[in-house]
C-alpha cells in the first residue's frame, strides 16, 4: 500500500531523515514553519536545479517527461508504467512507489541490459551525500519489479567551457557505492516512518546539524550562546571545546595563564577591559596607503551553466563594482557599475574599474584575495585591458589583515568581516537599513536580474537594481570610514 504523499517518504525526505529524524519530523508536520520560507538565495538554488535538470533531459533524445505534481502520485506512477510499456528510450521524473516511499527518478534510461538510473546534480563532483539518494531510488525501483543494473550521478563537468556545452555533464557510475548501502535501506525506511508517526523525536545536537547540509532548525535546537563565548575566540581550534568541558564558557571567565594565540589573546584583553585594543604597528601599516586611495568592491555571480565565452560551470564573474576614491582634503568621488541584461559584461566592468582606479596611489579592498581573483579573471577575459588591470592588482592592499593584526574591539565578536568590524569601530555605520545586506543574497539577486531578466517586470528590476547599488556602495563607504577611524586610533595609540 502507498501512503498519501503527505505522510510517506520521498527521496529527499529519506535523505533529510537520515541526516536527522527530528528535522524530517518538523519538515513534514510543520510545512509552513518560518524556517522553511524560501529566500532569494534558496530560490536561486531551486532555479539552478530546474535549469540543470532541463539541460540534462536534452541529452536524451526521445525521452518522455512524466508530468504531475506531488498530489498526483497514482497518476504519475501510471504514466510511468505506460512509458515503460510504450518503449520510451528514456523517462524523466519516472515515478515509482514501494514500501511507503515514492520516488521520481530524474532520468531513467533504457539500456541494452536493463534500465540505467541517473540522479542529476548541479554539483561539480559526486558527493558522499548523493549516495543515499541514489540507494533509496534503486531500492524502490527494484522493489517495484524493474531491472536496474546500473546507477549514475550525472553532474556538471568542470572542464566544460562556454560556448561548447557538449561536455556540460559528466556521468559517474555509482552502482557499487549505492548497492553497498542497499541492505540498510529497508530498516532506515521503517525507522523514519515510525519516527514520523510518533511524537517529535529526541535527537541531540551535533556535527550532523550542519553536515552534509545546514539544518534550517538550528535556532530551535541550539542554545543561544552567551556573549563572548569562548568559541568566538579567534582561531583557537579544539581549545574551545576543552575550555567548555572544563566549565569555562565565556572569555571573561578565562583563568590567567591560559595560553592563547596572539590575536585571540588581544581579543581576550579587549573583551575583559571593554575597550578597543590598538597595537603600536597600526600607524606603520596604514602608511602603506598612498593617496589618493581607491576603495574597491566587486559583486559577482557564479552561473552553474556558463553563459559567457571561456567560462566554466560556477566560474565567478564580477558584474558589479563600487569604488570610492578619497582625494586631497577628504574629497570623495564615487564610481559604480551594475551590468544590465544577459550580455557579457566583462569588458564594461574592466573599463569601469580601470577608470575608477586611474590615478589612485593605492587600491584598497577588504579581504582583497577576492578582488584580486576578479581582476585576474577580467584581465584574462579582456586582453585589451590586461596591462591596466595588472596595474590595479599591483596597487591592491588588503585592509583586513591591517585590522586583524593591530586592532580588536569587543563588538567584533571574534569576526574580522567588514560587516562586523566597520559598525563596531564606526558608530552609525550600519547595514540594517538596506534591503540587501549580505553578499550571498546580492549574488542570487544579481544572477536572477541579469540572466532571467524576462521573469521580472521592469519596476521590480529597477527596485532590485537600486538595492544592489546601495549595498555595494555601502561596502566601499564602510572602508572609507574604517580607514579614517583606524588613522584616528593610530594617532591616539
Ligand atoms: S538542529 Fe540538529 S538536532 Fe535539531 S533538527 Fe536540525 S539537525 Fe536535528
CA 365/CA 295 separation, integer angstroms: 6
CA 13/CA 25 separation, integer angstroms: 10
C-alpha cell at 262: 596572539
Please report the atom of ligand 1 found closest to the CA of residue 23.
Answer: 5
Mutate to test the pocket of ligand 1, among 218, 219, 222, 224 (most ligand atoms within 8 A of CB): 218
Q: Which residues contact 309 (CB under 8 A, 6 or more apart)?
A: 162, 163, 344, 381
Please report the atom of ligand 1 found closest to the CA of residue 203.
Answer: 3
Q: Which residues contact 276 (CB under 8 A, 6 or more apart)?
A: 270, 407, 408, 409, 410, 425, 489
pLDDT of residue 2: 41
Output the CA 218–ligand 1 centroid distance in Å: 6
CA 358/CA 337 separation, integer angstroms: 16
Q: Which of 409, 414, 424, 406 is nearest to 481 (CA)?
A: 424
Output the CA 237–ligand 1 centroid distance in Å: 23
Please report the atom of ligand 1 found closest to the CA of residue 222.
Answer: 1
Output the CA 136–ligand 1 centroid distance in Å: 22
Closest-CA residue, ligand 1 atom 1, reads: 218
Output the CA 209–ligand 1 centroid distance in Å: 5
Output the CA 131–ligand 1 centroid distance in Å: 21
Closest-CA residue, ligand 1 atom 5, reads: 23
pLDDT of residue 41: 83
Please report the atom of ligand 1 found closest to the CA of residue 216.
Answer: 6
CA 488/CA 366 separation, integer angstroms: 19
Q: Which residues contact 188 (CB under 8 A, 6 or more apart)?
A: 14, 17, 18
- Strand 317-326 and strand 293-301: the pairing is antiparallel
Output the CA 11–ligand 1 centroid distance in Å: 19
C-alpha cell at 238: 579544539
pLDDT of residue 6: 53
DSSP code for 300: E
Distances (CA, A) of 277 to 195, 236, 479, 483, 489: 52, 19, 19, 16, 9
CA 339/CA 336 separation, integer angstroms: 10
CA 206/CA 222 separation, integer angstroms: 9
CA 25/CA 200 separation, integer angstroms: 6
Please report the atom of ligand 1 found closest to the CA of residue 221.
Answer: 4
Output the CA 152–ligand 1 centroid distance in Å: 30
CB atoms within 10 A of CB 492: 8
Beta strands in 229-329 (DSSP E): 277-278, 293-301, 317-326
Please report the atom of ligand 1 found closest to the CA of residue 208.
Answer: 7
CA 254/CA 277 separation, integer angstroms: 18
Output the CA 81–ligand 1 centroid distance in Å: 38
Per-residue pLDDT of the chain (493 residues; tens, 9 = 90+): 344 445 689 999 999 999 999 999 999 999 999 999 998 888 888 989 999 999 999 999 999 999 998 889 999 999 999 999 999 999 999 999 999 999 999 999 999 999 999 999 999 999 999 999 999 999 999 999 999 999 999 999 999 999 999 999 999 999 999 999 999 999 999 999 999 999 999 999 999 999 999 999 999 999 999 999 999 999 999 999 999 999 999 999 999 889 999 999 999 999 999 999 999 999 999 999 999 999 999 999 999 999 999 999 999 999 999 999 998 888 999 999 999 999 999 999 999 999 999 999 999 999 999 999 999 999 999 999 999 999 999 999 999 999 999 999 999 999 999 999 999 999 999 899 999 988 889 999 999 999 987 888 999 999 999 999 999 999 999 999 999 999 999 998 7
Output the CA 246–ligand 1 centroid distance in Å: 25
Q: Which of 299, 328, 332 is nearest to 479 (CA)?
A: 332
pLDDT of residue 1: 39
Report residues whose beta carbon is within 6 angstroms of any ligand 1 atom: 20, 22-23, 203, 205, 208-209, 215, 217-218, 221
Q: Which fold has domain 282-492?
A: Nucleotidyltransferase; domain 5 (3.30.420)
In three-state secondary structure terms, 460 is helix
Domain ranges of the chain: 9-197, 230-275, 282-492
Residues composing the chain: 493
Class of the CATH domain delimited by 9-197: alpha beta
Please report the atom of ligand 1 found closest to the CA of residue 204.
Answer: 3
Amino acid at each position: 500500500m502507498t501512503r498519501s504523499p503527505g505522510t510517506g517518504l520521498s527521496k529527499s525526505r529519506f535523505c533529510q531523515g537520515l541526516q536527522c529524524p527530528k528535522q524530517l519530523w518538523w519538515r513534514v508536520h510543520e510545512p509552513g514553519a518560518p524556517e522553511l520560507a524560501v529566500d532569494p538565495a534558496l530560490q536561486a538554488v531551486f532555479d539552478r536545479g530546474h535549469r540543470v535538470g532541463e539541460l540534462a533531459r536534452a541529452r536524451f533524445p526521445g525521452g518522455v517527461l512524466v508530468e504531475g505534481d506531488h498530489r498526483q502520485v497514482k497518476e504519475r506512477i501510471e504514466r510511468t508504467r505506460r512509458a515503460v510499456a510504450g518503449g520510451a528510450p528514456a523517462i524523466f521524473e519516472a515515478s515509482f512507489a514501494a514500501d511507503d516511499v515514492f520516488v521520481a527518478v530524474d532520468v531513467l534510461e533504457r539500456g541494452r541490459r536493463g534500465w540505467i538510473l541517473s540522479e542529476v546534480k548541479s554539483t561539480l563532483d559526486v558527493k558522499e551525500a548523493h549516495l543515499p539518494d541514489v540507494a533509496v531510488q534503486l531500492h524502490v525501483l527494484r522493489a517495484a519489479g524493474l531491472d536496474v543494473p546500473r546507477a549514475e550521478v550525472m553532474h556538471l563537468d568542470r572542464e566544460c567551457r562556454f560556448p561548447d556545452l557538449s561536455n556540460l555533464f559528466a556521468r559517474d557510475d555509482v552502482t557499487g557505492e549505492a548497492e553497498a548501502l542497499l541492505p540498510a535501506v529497508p530498516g532506515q525506511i521503517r525507522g523514519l516512518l515510525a519516527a514520523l508517526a510518533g511524537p517529535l523525536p529526541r535527537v541531540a545536537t551535533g556535527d550532523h546539524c550542519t553536515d552534509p547540509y545546514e539544518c534550517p532548525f538550528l535556532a530551535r535546537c541550539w542554545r543561544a550562546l552567551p556573549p563572548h563565548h569562548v568559541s568566538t575566540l579567534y582561531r583557537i581550534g579544539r581549545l574551545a571545546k576543552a575550555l567548555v568541558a572544563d566549565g569555562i564558557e565565556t572569555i571573561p571567565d578565562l583563568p590567567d595563564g591560559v595560553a592563547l594565540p596572539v590575536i585571540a589573546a588581544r581579543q581576550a584583553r579587549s573583551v575583559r577591559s571593554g575597550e578597543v585594543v590598538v597595537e603600536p604597528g597600526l600607524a606603520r601599516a596604514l602608511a602603506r596607503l598612498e593617496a589618493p586611495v581607491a576603495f574597491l568592491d566587486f559583486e559577482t555571480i557564479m552561473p552553474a551553466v556558463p553563459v559567457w565565452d571561456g567560462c566554466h560551470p560556477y566560474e565567478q564573474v564580477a558584474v558589479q563594482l563600487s569604488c570610492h576614491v578619497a582625494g586631497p582634503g577628504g574629497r570623495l568621488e564615487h564610481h559604480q557599475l551594475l551590468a544590465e541584461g544577459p550580455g557579457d559584461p566583462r569588458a564594461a566592468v574592466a573599463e569601469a574599474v580601470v577608470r575608477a582606479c586611474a590615478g589612485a596611489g593605492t587600491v584598497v579592498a577588504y579581504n582583497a584575495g577576492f578582488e584580486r581573483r576578479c581582476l585576474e579573471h577580467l584581465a584574462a577575459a579582456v586582453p585589451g585591458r590586461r596591462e591596466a588591470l595588472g596595474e590595479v592588482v599591483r596597487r591592491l592592499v588588503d585592509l583586513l589583515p591591517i585590522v586583524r593584526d593591530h586592532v580588536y574591539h569587543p563588538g567584533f565578536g571574534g569576526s574580522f568581516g567588514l560587516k562586523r568590524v566597520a559598525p563596531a569601530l564606526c558608530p552609525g555605520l550600519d547595514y540594517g537599513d538596506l534591503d540587501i545586506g549580505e553578499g550571498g543574497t546580492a549574488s542570487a539577486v544579481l544572477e536572477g536580474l541579469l540572466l532571467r531578466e524576462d521573469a521580472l517586470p521592469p519596476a521590480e528590476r529597477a527596485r532590485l537594481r537600486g538595492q544592489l547599488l546601495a549595498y555595494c556602495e555601502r561596502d566601499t563607504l564602510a572602508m572609507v570610514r574604517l580607514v579614517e577611524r583606524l588613522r584616528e586610533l593610530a594617532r591616539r595609540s
